[in-house]
C-alpha cells in the first residue's frame, strides 16, 4: 500500500472513533483518536480547552498533533480525526496527500440522537444542527463518503475495509 494511514473524517457523532477502533482490528493496524491524543498530551479535556483557551488554541494543538502523527507514522494506522480537523487547509492538504481519507456521515437527526452533549461546539441538538449547516459544504467536499445511517459500526468498518484491501500488497494484507 502506498499509503499506510486510513483517516476517518466527518461531523461530530458520525462514528469516527467507534468505526476506527473496529477497522483497526480488522486491518491489524494501530488506532489513533486525535481528540484522545490531544487530551493525553495536554492533560485537559477537549471541553476544558475550548472553554478556557478557546477554539483557536485547540485548533493549534490539534494541527500540531495531527501533523506529528502523520509525519512520524511508519505502521499501518487508522486515525479518527476531530470533526473540524480538516477545516485547516494545511491539515486537509496533508491528510489528502498522505492518507486514504473516508468521510462518515449521517442525517442531522441521527447525529443529534447520538450526541452525548460532550461536544464543545455542539453541546445540544440545536447547536449541532447549526454546526452541521455551517460545515455542510466542507464535509461534502471531502473524499470517499460513507453513510453510517442505519448501519452498525461493524458494517461501516467492513465497507471501508473492502475499499482499502485492494490497495494493500499481499504482504501487507491482514490475515
**First vs last C-alpha separation in the chain:** 15
Give 75's pLDDT tier (boundaries 50, 70, 90). Answer: confident
pTM of the shown model: 0.90
* Domain extents in the chain: 5-166
With contact defined as beta carbons under 8 Å apart, do 86 and 34 qualify?
no
SS3 sequence of 103-162 = EEECCHHHHHHHCCCCCCCCCCHHHHHHHHHHHHHHHHCCCCEEECCCCCHHHHHHHHHH
Closest CA to 8 of 65, 77, 59, 75: 77
Three cell numbers at 116?
452525548
The string of pLDDT tens digits covering residues 30-64 is: 999 999 999 999 999 988 998 899 989 999 999 99
What pLDDT does residue 2 have? 60
Greatest mean pLDDT among 49-53, 117-121, 122-126, 168-172? 49-53
Q: Which residue has the higher pLDDT, 126 or 117?
A: 126
Would you say residue 169 has pLDDT above 50? Answer: no
Cα-based distances in Å from 14 to 10, 43, 68, 165: 6, 25, 24, 23
Question: Which is the CATH superfamily of the domain at 5-166?
Answer: P-loop containing nucleotide triphosphate hydrolases (3.40.50.300)
Amino acid at each position: 500500500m502506498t499509503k499506510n494511514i486510513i483517516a476517518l473524517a466527518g461531523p461530530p457523532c458520525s462514528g469516527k472513533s467507534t468505526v476506527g477502533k473496529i477497522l483497526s482490528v480488522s486491518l491489524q493496524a494501530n488506532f489513533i483518536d486525535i481528540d484522545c491524543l490531544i487530551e493525553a498530551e495536554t492533560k485537559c479535556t477537549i471541553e476544558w480547552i475550548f472553554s478556557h483557551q478557546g477554539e483557536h488554541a485547540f485548533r493549534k494543538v490539534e494541527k500540531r498533533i495531527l501533523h506529528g502523527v502523520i509525519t512520524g507514522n511508519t505502521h499501518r494506522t487508522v486515525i479518527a480525526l476531530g470533526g473540524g480537523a480538516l477545516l485547516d487547509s494545511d491539515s486537509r492538504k496533508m491528510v489528502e496527500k498522505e492518507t486514504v481519507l473516508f468521510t462518515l456521515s449521517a442525517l442531522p437527526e441521527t447525529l443529534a440522537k447520538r450526541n452525548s452533549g460532550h461536544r464543545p461546539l455542539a453541546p445540544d441538538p440545536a447547536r449541532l444542527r447549526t454546526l452541521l449547516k455551517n460545515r455542510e459544504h466542507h464535509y461534502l467536499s471531502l473524499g470517499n463518503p460513507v453513510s453510517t445511517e442505519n448501519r452498525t459500526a461493524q458494517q461501516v468498518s467492513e465497507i471501508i475495509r473492502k475499499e482499502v484491501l485492494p490497495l494493500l500488497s499481499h504482504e501487507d494484507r491482514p490475515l
